[in-house]
Structure 1
Amino acid sequence: MEDVLHAVARTVISFILLMFITFLIGKQVNPHKNYFSFALSIILGSFVANMGFDVNLKFLPMLTSFLALFLIYYLISFISFKSRVLRKWFSGQPTVIINRGHILESNMKKLRYSIDDLNQQLRELGIFDIKEVEYALLEVSGNLSVLKKQQYQNTVKSDILKTESKQLSLPIELIIEGKLIDKNLTLKYNKNWIEQELIKRKLSINRILYAVIGTDGKLYVELYKDNAPSLTDKY
């Protein structure tokens, strides 16, 4: 019975302590907006679990370690607030994925971030045509931040009414990373049609990073190693 009461007391104290810490730093840690907050949240959870449920571990040393971790967090937060260089090191920084309408495949390879990942996150933002994007940055949190091209921004009701009579369709991916997507070929957009379009543009399929039929029925082509300005993680 004494062991049960001891376990209950540890759990209650650990829960109250976690709620207090969450009240103080929850807004910074909960969203996992950077590397440090993600790591901290995992460690805090591990500490609380052991403090509450592992009766083989002494409570006071665990509590001391928990409070020490909390103080380390505050120290690092203070230093990061004062120094932008250290803040970038602790928190990370966004990576440019699309710059001035051009996909930066070198950055994508470095992150192991595929065209499919990019398209999925664009769709989640309500963007089905990649050609609408001027800039796209992959945040440390894993979220994609997008700035649309000027002609696609601030749609008003009059713009919608003008296009109501025009039938739109979902984009059709034809080429990804130099390979033809056979299952997406149609009677209209067949292999012969693609070859003719590439001949018009004086392109070979192995030079193409991504080719898609947009919702407007036009072919959008993004090349490997284009002449877009070179950008890495800097922002």
Structure 2
Amino acid sequence: MNELEHVVILAILRTVVSFIILMVVTYCIGKQVNAHKNHYNFALSITLGSFIANMGFDTNLKFYPMLAAFLTLIFLYLIMSAYSANSRRFRKWLSGNPTIIIENGKLLDSNMKKVKYTLDHLNLQLREQGIFDIVEVEFALLEVSGNLSVLKKSSFQTVTKKDLNLDQPHQENSLPVELIMDGVVIDKNLNDPYSRPWLEQQLKTRRLEIKDIHYAVVGTNGSFFIDLYQD
């Protein structure tokens, strides 16, 4: 066997092993990474791809040190994921926050400039959601993933069976108000009419304590949703 054949066979074997390792890893954590929902997952997916590519066909690099570095990266990801699941502050730092582009039907030019988001981008993403007239939009948020989340004004929303109940009073829509997350009260969101006394009364009525609550939010229509740790 000459040197060229040896290099080719070695590259094939390394590629097969690297591919199997990648399949195992993506099976375990692929749902989070492949979604590219934040900068961290996007950067991680690119880094993993670079590792696998070098492990597979770059025969100038030793395989086992590359594999050790690859597994170290996965280990760090798992540790950070576990910690972020129990720390909202760390999770926000890791994932970032959405940017409000349209609020109460008005464009927030200052926010658009901060994220270098143009009107062309806005109109493009609105058209992708079937909205050709910006006056139909009540709220629009630019997510960390780059997707645009839109809440239409009430008069432009699709009619549902519930809407056909003419006895229901009209309710204006607003952004959801998160009050409790991971068993911790979000104090900055405690404003009228959803004050701390209001929240305490809601919990007292349901015989609940803050530590028992995984997530509590006031929906766009004013409904109060609670998710408990113990389902």
> Equivalent pairs: percent with the same residue?
62
Measured in 1, the distance between the counterparts of 2:46 and 2:94 equals 16
Give the drift of 1:85: 0.7
Larger radius of gyration: 1
Matched, 1:113 2:117: yes
Residue from 12, 18, 22 that aligns with 1:18: 22
Q: Secondary structure at the match of 2:151?
A: strand
Measured in 2, the distance between the counterparts of 1:121 and 1:27 equals 24
- Aligned residue for 1:8? 12
Matched, 1:133 2:153: no
**Deviation string for 1:80-115 (max 9, x for gaps)?**
111111101111111000011111000000111111
Measured in 2, the distance between the counterparts of 1:31 and 1:78 equals 18
Gaps in structure 1 of 5+ consecutive residues: 157-235
Give the drift of 1:5: 1.7
Measured in 1, the distance between the counterparts of 2:74 and 2:16 equals 19
Letter in 1 for 2:96: G
Give the drift of 1:3: 2.1
Measured in 1, the distance between the counterparts of 2:9 and 2:124 equals 50
Matched, 1:57 2:61: yes
**Deviation string for 1:53-103 (max 9, x for gaps)?**
100000000000000000010011011111111101111111000011111
Matched, 1:47 2:54: no
- Aligned residue for 1:102? 106
- Aligned residue for 1:88? 92
Matched, 1:79 2:83: yes
Letter in 2 for 1:144: L
Query: Normalized against structure 2, the TM-score is what?
Result: 0.66
Q: Secondary structure at the match of 1:57?
A: coil
Matched, 1:33 2:42: no
Matched, 1:153 2:154: no
Give the drift of 1:31: 1.7
Q: Secondary structure at the match of 1:96?
A: strand
Residue from 124, 128, 133 that aligns with 1:124: 128
Give the drift of 1:7: 1.2
Aligned runs of 1:200-211 on 2, under 5 Å? none
Query: Normalized against structure 1, the TM-score is what?
Result: 0.65
Gaps in structure 2 of 5+ consecutive residues: 161-231
Q: Secondary structure at the match of 2:110?
A: helix
Aligned runs of 1:207-218 on 2, under 5 Å? none
Measured in 2, the distance between the counterparts of 1:106 and 1:5 equals 57
Structure 1: 4+ residue segments shifted above 6 A: none
Q: Secondary structure at the match of 1:56?
A: coil
Give the drift of 1:4: 2.0
